[in-house]
Amino acid sequence: RAPPLVGRWVPFAAVAAANCVNIPMMRQQELIQGICVKDRNHNEIGHSRRAAAIGITQVVVSRITMAAPGMILLPIIMERLEKLHFMKKVKVLHAPLQVLLSGCFLIFMVPVACGLFPQKCELSVSYLEPELQDTIKAKYGELVPYVYFNKGL
Specify the pTM. Answer: 0.89
Q: 115 pLDDT exceeds 90?
A: yes
Domain boundaries, position 46: 4-150
Q: State the Cα–Cα distance between residues 142 and 146, nearest whole angstrom.
A: 10
Q: Evaluate if residue 102 carries a pLDDT over 90.
A: yes
Q: How many domains does the chain have?
A: 1
Q: How far is CA 84 from CA 89, 95, 149, in A?
A: 9, 16, 51
Within 8 A by CB and 6+ apart from 6, the residues are none
Provide the pLDDT for residue 65: 97
Strand order of the sheet with strand 146-150?
44-48, 35-38, 146-150, 120-124
d(CA 53, CA 59): 10
